[in-house]
Structure 1
Amino acid sequence: MAEKIPQDASSEEAVPVKRLWYRTTLFNAFVIGAVGFIAPGLWNAMNQLGAGGAQRPYLVNAANALVFGILGFTCIFGAPLANKIGLSWTLFFGAVGYPIYSAGLYLNNRYGVEWLVLVGAVTCGVSAGLFWASEGAVALGYPEPGKRGRYLNIWLWFRTGGPLVGGAIVLALNNDAKAKKKGKVSYTTYLVFTALQTLGAPIALLLSPPEKVQRSDGSKVIIQAEKTFKGELEALWEVCTRKDVLLLLPIFWAAYFNQYSGNFQTYYFGVRARALIGFTTSFGTLLSSQLMSTLLDYKGIPVKKRIVLGFWYAVALHIVAWVYAWVVQERYTANPPALDWEDKGFVEGYFVLLLWEFSRQGLQNWLYYLVSTKTDNISELTRFTGILRGQESFGQAVSYGLNTREWVGGRVPLVVNTILLVLAVYPTWLVVRDHVPVEDRNKENSITPNGELESDVEKTANTSAIILPEEKGKFASAATNVGRDTL
């Protein structure tokens, strides 16, 4: 028998409403997860091959620089746009550009055509920015506060599942003896990926609008939005110019700046070795994410202390990864190898890539957690995550541009990456040191006079438009009880 959803407490008569399976938070979590699996997940699988599986990395790196440059802008400005056209259509447009990019790689791989790679980079950049803007709102805003972490983990498994399945496909199509040497992957790989990615856009249309989502506890999804597009832009600018956000810009850039890993693979590994690396490093990424999330979600430690411990853990991971990478790179500079998975030196080079991915994923999880503890206002949180992902994208664009040429021994990209990471530590620590998590602020508010607390809520309600109209008392309850978790 279908569960009944309680009506608004302010209603004179509560009319039972049947819960529809396609309106539940679980179904919508699977929708956003499926699109993440097909679109960015399979895109990541291709790029984990090193330069999208190409024989030489320079064209693909130029295309990816274009992808992330455009993505940075569309991600930052995606939140205001999503509030105007709706999350379902934003997610739809966030998926349509990916198969065009994959089709471009196919034509380049088989026939040497270059123009569609660049066209695909533009469409993919626009789509990716819209995807991340809508994904943040759905992943953080749709679930019940008490189940938010559970549903975010569903999304995480889907997103990581894309590179895992994609890596398995690549490995299955590129594992014969001919693939031992350096070169490019089979063109049939791109046909499979393009076909799968065309499914992302229609799946996105299955997403329910926020006002129609039916939570198991009967509560409503509330997404605050400014009344005008100008108001949204002003709110976005206010967040962008905050002191703590400006101090975090170096670490936002440094988090995903290392795109030399793709060049590293094409320089020193054969095709089937790259396929194996792309498949297996996804397990390391998932493990790193789970370890950091376990630390940050551990209820036996105060939130502020978890953030501090997570920060130093991320620093330690990067020290290990980059010291080891420098040692191996110096050996490869002196004697460049061409490694297959059967070769004796394969494991040594493989661990460079594994440690880079492991440390990077841990840092990104920590950054999302830090940002999520700055506010319990979902609309503002979407702006924060848009800025985080947008600035990461700008860093990736510059890094891909840096890797469009062949640097002797890879020293220049390694130096730039290392300097950026070192410079990011101190300003990030200043933010961590002075940060007061929203949970602690809410505890302080809970012991203040009721009149003062109501005034704060009224101020928020008066400056924002609520997508789902609610009674003032119910909004006050929802605004103070919105949870947060890692993205």
Structure 2
Amino acid sequence: MEDTKTVETDSSNVPGDGHIAVADTLPRGWMYKQLKIGPWTLPWFASPKIQLGMVAFVCFLCPGMFNALSGLGGGGRSATDTSLADNMNTALYSTFAVVGFAAGSVVNRLGVRVGLGLGGIGYCLYSISLLVSVHKHVDGFNIFAGAFLGVCAGLLWTAQGVIMVSYPTEKQKGRYWAWFWAIFNIGACIGSLIPLGQNIHSTDGAGVNDGTYIAFIVLMFCGAILALFVCDGRHVIRSDGTKVVLMQNPSWRSEIMGLYTTIVSEPLVILLFPMFFSSNWFYTYQQNAINAAYFNTRTRALNGFLYWLAQIVAATVIGPLLDLESVRRTVRAKAMMAILFSLTLAIYGGGYAWQKKYTRADVVQPADGGDFQPWDWTHPGYVGPMFLYFFYGFYDAIWQGAVYWIMGALSNSGRRTANYVGFYKGLQSAGAAVMWSLDSKHTSYMGEFASNWGLLLGSLVCALPVILLRIQDSVAIEDDLKDVDETLEDVLRTDVKVESALKS
């Protein structure tokens, strides 16, 4: 069995969160050198702030651009043929779901840098397949690219989640999530501006041009390269002088055991699974049933820009509030759930009023034998759905931020949170795969909307016991080390049993 040991936290008591306060305790080496520019002292390279910033820009360039393409109602031929987008995304999220459950163990074993780098490759291939589909029918290649991206994205998002949830101190988790989410969604905003600028004079419902896809491919490739410069968690030292709890040289067996002990050590985390499952369910409805179905190309691009801009606004508002030191964390958790309940009722109540206006049959365009003319932003009445789409994006950011914050409040261990994030991304993708599959079967728009609203409200009810019983004002380091010790005991016990059986 491989040598396994726990990385202990630094025992020195270091005041505050300032970088200068821990300068004397940092190890030697270029990763821990601090650069001074005038009156400012920059963080060391292996600090959570720098590492999260790098990961944010990787996501800015890879999934951020992917979100911009998806926000147009697909891409390539799928921008005008939503059945292809349905099939590609069903393949993507199906493999994502399968890989996601084990991705925490894979990332623990291979490191966050490898997970991020593989993710960038998948996004590039996906965009290339969309460009090819504009000129030739290559459905097999498109679906393979979607499935391959699911594998890669499972690793990328799990690695990202580990960094975002476990690297900051307990007092910084909301702010770090806000910084990441804002930078990541700036990528989606810029990605939406690319097709908007290139199709600014197009008032029909046609897809975007080749230059748009080429720009996305180049940017995604840059993201994959940037991922290679991220350092692994064992090198990271927080701003309070502590290190991330990890296992050095974990074996595959210990990682499989870790999945089991994650559930055993925190069984109530299962009650968060409905919240995980529903967290990407609504994208299909919003992107296909509203944006792709009702608006022309340039208006879809504008809607996409506003959707991702709303995410930035929401992140900058909710992130600092989640870290409000004048309010106990247990109180913040309860307030967060009350806000989510209220927003779910208010925003989706407005969504119900909009969805009553049309069905699938009402928005069949001339190319498909209908007579519906997609709306442009100059159309009377556009302001209403524009604001609705904006607030759908606003709500999405608050939902995702709440999920990440809850996982971070349950543990500071990089190892345990890797498994939490793996469960989150696996179930999230399973939900998305189911919804894309339902859309490919032409489920009614009102049926899709009702499933969104019902799932969101139901999952909040399921999550309440976790908020009320498990969120504490602080997590003791002993609790984070406990699951590592239990995993090692399980592995050693298994080895002894195997060795005894061989001897007998």
What residue number does 2:467 align with?
432
The alpha carbon displacement at 1:335 in A equals 5.8
Tell me the distance in 2 between the aligned counterparts of 1:418 and 1:147.
31
After superposition, residues 191-270 of structure 1 pair within 5 angstroms as 191-213=214-236, 219-224=242-247, 227-240=250-263, 242-258=266-282, 259-263=284-288, 264-270=290-296
Aligned length: 443
What residue number does 2:204 align with?
181
Q: Which moved more, 1:427-436 or 1:248-257?
A: 427-436
What residue number does 1:160 align with?
185
1:458 to 1:47, Cα distance in 2 relative to 1, 3 A: closer
Tell me the distance in 2 between the aligned counterparts of 1:422 and 1:145.
28
For the pair 1:329 / 2:376, whether they are aligned, the reply is no
Q: Partner amino acid for 1:189? A: T
2:416 is aligned, of 365, 380, 396, to 380
The alpha carbon displacement at 1:271 in A equals 0.8
For the pair 1:63 / 2:88, whether they are aligned, the reply is yes
Give deviations 1:37-61, integer Å, cap 9, x for gaps.
1111111111111223701211112
Tell me the distance in 2 between the aligned counterparts of 1:393 and 1:434.
27
Contact 1:257–1:399, Cα closer than 8 Å, also in 2: yes
What residue number does 1:485 align with?
none
What residue number does 1:309 align with?
335
Give deviations 1:131-171, integer Å, cap 9, x for gaps.
01211223344456666655444422321111011011121
Tell me the distance in 2 between the aligned counterparts of 1:357 and 1:158.
15
For the pair 1:282 / 2:317, whether they are aligned, the reply is no
Contact 2:90–2:433, Cα closer than 8 Å, also in 1: yes
1:397 is aligned, of 420, 433, 446, to 433
What residue number does 2:451 align with?
416
The percent identity for this pair of structures is 23
Tell me the distance in 2 between the aligned counterparts of 1:457 and 1:403.
42
1:145 to 1:365, Cα distance in 2 relative to 1, 3 A: closer
Tell me the distance in 2 between the aligned counterparts of 1:192 and 1:278.
17
Tell me the distance in 1 between the aligned counterparts of 2:25 and 2:469.
42
Contact 2:58–2:223, Cα closer than 8 Å, also in 1: yes
1:340 is aligned, of 373, 376, 380, to 376
What residue number does 2:70 align with?
47
Give deviations 1:326-362, integer Å, cap 9, x for gaps.
1111112396562101111212222332222222221
Matched residue SS, 1:372: helix
TM-score for the superposition, normalised by structure 1: 0.83
Give deviations 1:179-206, integer Å, cap 9, x for gaps.
2122322232111101211122221111
Runs of 4+ aligned structure 1 residues displaced above 6 Å come to none
1:76 is aligned, of 80, 95, 101, to 101
What residue number does 1:93 align with?
118
TM-score for the superposition, normalised by structure 2: 0.80
Tell me the distance in 2 between the aligned counterparts of 1:434 and 1:216.
29
What residue number does 1:29 align with?
52
1:302 to 1:114, Cα distance in 2 relative to 1, 3 A: same
Tell me the distance in 2 between the aligned counterparts of 1:343 and 1:459.
60
Q: Which moved more, 1:378-387 or 1:135-144?
A: 135-144
2:344 is aligned, of 318, 325, 347, to 318
Matched residue SS, 1:373: helix
- Unaligned 5+ runs, structure 1: 9-14, 443-452, 466-487
- Unaligned 5+ runs, structure 2: 1-18, 35-43, 364-371, 489-504
1:331 to 1:150, Cα distance in 2 relative to 1, 3 A: closer
1:459 to 1:361, Cα distance in 2 relative to 1, 3 A: closer
1:125 is aligned, of 134, 150, 155, to 150
Q: Partner amino acid for 1:431? A: V
For the pair 1:293 / 2:319, whether they are aligned, the reply is yes
1:288 to 1:203, Cα distance in 2 relative to 1, 3 A: same
Tell me the distance in 1 between the aligned counterparts of 2:61 and 2:114.
17
Contact 2:171–2:325, Cα closer than 8 Å, also in 1: no
Q: Partner amino acid for 1:42? A: M
Q: Partner amino acid for 1:437? A: Q
1:118 to 1:458, Cα distance in 2 relative to 1, 3 A: closer
Q: Which moved more, 1:94-103 or 1:149-158?
A: 149-158
Matched residue SS, 1:182: coil
CA RMSD of aligned residues (A): 2.8
